[in-house]
Structure formats: structure tokens, C-alpha cells
Chain A
């Protein structure tokens, strides 16, 4: 019956017809139509945005704080040039009401254009997450000149290891929540080809997750390099684990101090690390490696996603700007028991995590200490901030060892307006 109906009215003006006959019964008929654009029109009438608005009453994340029925109504039927939708951006925030201690972001980008097409939602989220940074009016500084870092070598008696990480996205290919298998494989191809061009202390090898041998896998686990299929619902609800382990892999240099994850939460995650406290050298290698990789992909006509308002564009809005987390594993047995510890960290714009990463608690006296901020300050500024902050923490620890008192430092200013 639906088919004959469709034939009968083909060529008529759909909107007039729907309006004149009343959306309800007519729409049900159209739903059975083989013509998908007719069906889509019918659905829009049967299900206005208000019927689809998510129930966020028990939610505590940036998306739930920012999304209103009015914003949803304006954005629901929009698509990015890759046909990514608002519902897909926010699905992870709808499915994960919130963490009691950490306010999660609750939305992801499917492509570079997400941040523009859905700016009405993403701009307030960026402001909320990044200390009031306004992408409409402010510009983000990029600075990868490691020579500017001062006092960047820590006391090895306290700092066990130093690490800097960031992410980079390849312009023109969809991000992990949205990418098709072909796109993901293309990201892998572009990146692995470029990395093969690295030389000397950066020369290394790629291990595809799907093809590595048991022995290679064990070695990568022992080196603490291996990443596995995401289990966090924050990531799986954002569609990032599809087709695992297709086109995922790990590249690292022979010296095991420069490491790149391919197609995990971002197109690439770039990590420089070593044992001990030489953060300056870690950052120097980080910057050199990043610049060389960028040069190698540019030779082949590719570039990273970047713009002057958002800096480097990544999947999660929390990683915009520098995408940089610079940190150390540091022993602070006395300071960590001092009740001023949290306040000191806050004022230094540092955060503590357990040594297992973001979802872990600290064991014993060793902490992962790193920068809070990502956007609005350059890489050099953030690393210097971590360097100065960690030096201060070590100084406090030494003073407490000597029975001396410590001071809570004045709060560091946020980015220049």
C-alpha cells in the first residue's frame, strides 16, 4: 500500500502534501516508503527536537551543563561536511552521566568542522573546560622551541621519570569517533610512511596491533608502551573502539624514548619520555620529533589540523590547544601528607594522578604530577610551568625533610586576555 501511495503522489510538493493531510497518518505511510528522503522528512515531523532531547537531569559533565533544548533544536538537524551529527557528538556524554570527582567533557568531535558547525555547543564547553577561553575572540599561541626552557633538569633523588605527550590529527580525515575503516587505514598509512623517514636517535619501528607477534606484544607490555582496546565507557560510547584492532599500532624509536600511538583516541598520540629528571631533554626530543614528523607528512601533501583559535584540533575538546600533558613521576612522601599539598598544586596549576594514569589513585608516595591546562598557553609556557612547579614541590619536600616550614605559592595567572 505504501508503494502505490508513493507512486500516486510522486511529483507533488512533499511539504504541501504533508501539511494538508496532517503529519500523523501520512507520515506513517511515508515511513514505509522506499524513498529515504521522504522518510527523513516524515520522521522530522513526527519527532520534533523536543522529543529527542536527552534526559540530562542526573548528569554532571560539560556537555550537560551547556546543552539546552533551544541549542539542541537548532543543531539537531545539521551535519558537518562529513555528515557527522550533533547526536553523535554528545552520545558519550548522554551515556556517561559523570564522574563524581572529575567533571568530564561529555562530547567529542567527529572531524575538524565539528568545532565550527556545532560551535554553539562547543564554544561554551571550551570556555567551561579551559578557564574561560573564548574561541571566538582569543588566539592560542603555539611555541615548540625547547631551547627556551630553563632549570629543566630535576633532582633524580625525587623525580623517577619525565614525560611529555600530545596528539596530532591529520587534516582531511575524520577523527576516531567518526572515521570509516578506509579513513583509519589512510591515517595509519600516512603516519607510518612519515615515521619511516625519521633518523638517528629517532629512527624506529612500527608494530601493528593486529599483526604483532606474542613476543613483540610482551616486550611492549614490559616497556609500558602497549595500549589495548579501550575499556573506558567514556571512549567506547564515543564509537572509538569500532573495528578494533584494525589500523591501530605503536611506533617507537630504537632507544625507546619517543613513542607514537596510531588511531587510539586521536589519529596520533606523540610521547617523549625517559627515566630520571631531564625534562629539558625530553621536551627537546619532543619538539624535534614533532617538527620532523610534520615536515615528513607535508612533503607528501598532508598537514596537521590546526587553527589560530583552537590550536591543534583533537578528538576531545579537553585536549585542544597544545594537547600537551607534561609530567613527572615524583616521590613526595612528606609533602603529600601535608594538608596544604592540594592547594599548592592548585596554585601552581598542576594536577596529581596515580602512576597508572588518569583513572588511577596514587599508591605510596609517588605521584604523577602534570599541567592542568592545555589551551591558551603555549607548549613552552606549559612545560616551563611544570618545570618551575616541580622544582618548587621538590624544594618543599627538602624543607620538610629538614624540619623547615613551607609556603603556599601565589596562584599563577591564567592566560593573557
Chain B
């Protein structure tokens, strides 16, 4: 690959109007923000690695809209995307992240001691607890744009760094392309295995190329700390366990992340981070903390209550089915997690989630007894 997008030069022969995408049936953040004038101004630009405007927005053109969630509709191909195409991405970020301005600063706080409580979520309701985030390795293109050589370099670095983890974090790497049938089955049974993306949101952005080359899963022997390599981001880091001890999950999350960051730095590689956008990831929706902290929780009564959606909104929480972002809930069990990513620190987000879940369970218990929950409705956070 000639590492540059001279293909873009060819398109400039045509006028901006001739190239402008038809977004008349679209409902995503990119389609809301992009205008013909903006397209004209940005179409001749590219990042140093050759990522262009059309590359940024292709997934949003190919996927007009999602029935459950307003999708972002654009991706970054490298760290510089957020700078070169800020005219488009700043308003997308502002719209997606509750009014976050280009001048705002994002706070990072991965000190688990700052979390109050969280070790006592009622296990009769909370089935499991999980925290995930992503990290990108500075100097390499992101999954939509990376070459095979770069992707393999990211994998190699990750394997080396993770191999140095010890104690509770001692573990093993399973390359997707080499795993045995037995290993694969075990990873599926543990709910760890990620497979080639089927979501057109991801495929249309180029993230599925060369699958399964340089993709893999690392997890610790205790199966409570898991790292995905080269899926939607360079690294996805997940801490999880059954039951409601979110504090323990978050402790392990912070400890593990900090160790991994140190190990990468020792090898001359920082994570992509800046004081405006926090941790830089492929999808603008994951900027800042990239953090989704959530539980699988039984709320059969609460979920049927007319005010359920409103309460979630006030608590700054979102619901999903237990199969993940593209699923609906089954049997009154919901995946409830923080809605925000940027503009709040990691500790703040986990705190909001923990406090919110406690309240929801309290409401569930009241509804079970046939009592009203009106006096428990919280103010908007």
C-alpha cells in the first residue's frame, strides 16, 4: 500500500456537488452535521497517513440509521483524524456528548479508591458486573485504516506487554487464527470469544479487513480480566465477574489498565490521549473515558413502569439487551450502563452507575410490594 490516499486526488476532478452523498433518508450524527459547504471545504484534505473525509463518513453513508440507537456515522482512521476533520467531528462530538465544546477539557481519573461503595449491589437482582474501555496505541493507524503490517505490529506489542502481567493478572493470549477447536469452544462458553463483526456499522468502515489476521483475545487465568486485540479498537479492556461487587471489578480494571499502560510505555509506546478528547478511539462515541460500566440486572416490574425510560435518562444511564448493543432485553433482565463517555472521569461515571443501580433496585423492590415509586424519582443529573 502506498500509504497515502492519492485516490482522493482523482475524485477532486469532479465537483463537490457531484460527489456529495445522498443523506436524505439518513438519521445519524454525521448526516445531521454534514453540509455541502462543509464537504467542499474538507474533501481535499487528508491526514498524514492518507485518511480522507470520504473514509471518515463511509460507514454513515452506508448505514442510514439504527432502529434503537442514533448512530454516529463516522470513524477515525488515525489520531490526526480528529484534528484534520475537526470541522465535522467537533459538532458530532458536541451533539453526541451532551454539548461538549471544542474548548472543554476532559478529566481522567483511574484511582479506584475514589469510588464510594459499589461492593454491595444486591446479588438477588444484579447477575453480573462489567467495566470496559478501549485504548489506542500512538503511532499506528486505527482499525478502519491500518495496513496488515501495522495491525500485526500492534498485536506483537500487545502480546509482549500482556505476557508481563502477573499474579491475579497472569494470563494467556489466544490468536484468533491459531486457536484450536477446544480453545475456541471454551472461549465461547466463557462468553469471551469475539467473532468477525457482522454489524454493517463496523464492516462498512473497513474494520473487518483481513480477518482474522492479527486479532486475538487475552485473558487472565481467573477469567476476570480480558483484552481484545484489533477488533473495533487496538485494545478493548474488560473487567468482569458474576454478582454485584462492582468495586472489585473497577479495582481490577484500574490496576490492570495502569499496568498495561506502563508496560507499553516501557516499550516506547504511549496510548493516544490528549487533554481535550481524553483517550482517542476509533468511534467518536467512545472518546474521553471510552468507558462503559454496567450490570446485568433483573427489573421485571420497573421495566414495565411508565417512567422507566425517564428515570434512566435522569440517572444518565442507558439500557440494552443482554446480548449487547444490537439486542433487545429478554425476560426482564437488562444491561444497564452509563450513557456518557466524555466530560466525566472514569470514577465519576462508575459512581453514577453504581448509585443509579442502587436506586433502580430500590424502586423494583417497592413495585414488587405494590407501592408507588413517585417519591423516589430522582432529579436530572
Within 8 A of B (CB), among A250-294: none
List A contacts of B19 (CB < 8 A): 180-182
A82 in contact with B10 (CB, 8 Å)? yes
B381 at the interface (CB under 8 A from A): no
A51 in contact with B148 (CB, 8 Å)? yes
List B contacts of A84 (CB < 8 A): 7
Q: Given contacts A51-B153, A243-B61, could you give 8 more A-B pairs where the C-beta distance is less than 8 Å?
A: A40-B3, A43-B3, A43-B49, A44-B2, A52-B148, A83-B6, A91-B210, A243-B62
B50 in contact with A36 (CB, 8 Å)? yes
Q: Which of A7-15, A27-35, A408-416 sits within the interface?
A: A27-35
A39 in contact with B62 (CB, 8 Å)? no
List B contacts of A38 (CB < 8 A): 48
A54 in contact with B213 (CB, 8 Å)? yes
B11 in contact with A39 (CB, 8 Å)? no
Shortest C-beta distance, B84 to chain A (Å), equals: 9
A85 at the interface (CB under 8 A from B): yes
B18 in contact with A182 (CB, 8 Å)? yes
List A contacts of B213 (CB < 8 A): 54-55, 94
List A contacts of B150 (CB < 8 A): 47
B18 in contact with A242 (CB, 8 Å)? no
| Complex CA–CA separation, A182 to B14 (angstroms) | 7
A185 at the interface (CB under 8 A from B): yes
What are 22 A-B pairs at a CB distance below 8 A?
A31-B49, A32-B48, A34-B48, A40-B3, A51-B152, A52-B147, A52-B148, A54-B210, A55-B177, A77-B2, A82-B7, A83-B10, A87-B1, A91-B210, A94-B210, A94-B213, A95-B210, A182-B11, A182-B19, A185-B18, A243-B21, A243-B22
B21 in contact with A181 (CB, 8 Å)? yes
List B contacts of A243 (CB < 8 A): 21-22, 61-62
B139 at the interface (CB under 8 A from A): yes
List B contacts of A237 (CB < 8 A): 208-209
Closest to A183 in B: B14
| Complex CA–CA separation, A83 to B12 (angstroms) | 13
Shortest C-beta distance, A234 to chain B (Å), equals: 14
Shortest C-beta distance, B82 to chain A (Å), equals: 14
A contact set with B: CB distance below 8 Å: 28, 31-40, 43-44, 46-48, 51-55, 58, 76-79, 82-85, 87, 91, 94-95, 174, 178, 180-183, 185-186, 210, 236-237, 241-244, 246
Shortest C-beta distance, A48 to chain B (Å), equals: 8
A-B contact count (CB 8 A): 114
Within 8 A of A (CB), among B109-154: 139, 147-150, 152-153
Shortest C-beta distance, A71 to chain B (Å), equals: 15
| Complex CA–CA separation, A7 to B323 (angstroms) | 52
Q: How many B residues, CB 8 Å from partner?
A: 41
| Complex CA–CA separation, A91 to B210 (angstroms) | 7
| Complex CA–CA separation, A331 to B61 (angstroms) | 44
With A47-B149, A182-B14, A243-B21 as contacts: A31 and B139 at CB distance below 8 Å = yes
List B contacts of A54 (CB < 8 A): 148, 210, 213
Shortest C-beta distance, B135 to chain A (Å), equals: 19
Which one of A37, A52, A186 lies within 8 Å of B1 (CB-CB)? A52
| Complex CA–CA separation, A178 to B7 (angstroms) | 9
| Complex CA–CA separation, A186 to B17 (angstroms) | 13
Closest to B13 in A: A182
List A contacts of B6 (CB < 8 A): 79, 83
| Complex CA–CA separation, A78 to B7 (angstroms) | 12
With A182-B14, A210-B22, A244-B62 as contacts: A44 and B7 at CB distance below 8 Å = no
Within 8 A of A (CB), among B1-52: 1-7, 9-11, 14-15, 18-22, 46-50
B58 at the interface (CB under 8 A from A): yes
| Complex CA–CA separation, A186 to B14 (angstroms) | 10
B48 in contact with A36 (CB, 8 Å)? yes
B9 in contact with A39 (CB, 8 Å)? no
Shortest C-beta distance, A3 to chain B (Å), equals: 11
List A contacts of B373 (CB < 8 A): none
A180 in contact with B11 (CB, 8 Å)? yes
Shortest C-beta distance, B74 to chain A (Å), equals: 15
List A contacts of B211 (CB < 8 A): 95
| Complex CA–CA separation, A111 to B210 (angstroms) | 22
Which one of A47, A58, A94, A241 lies within 8 Å of B209 (CB-CB)? A94
Closest to B214 in A: A55
| Complex CA–CA separation, A77 to B1 (angstroms) | 5
List A contacts of B47 (CB < 8 A): 36
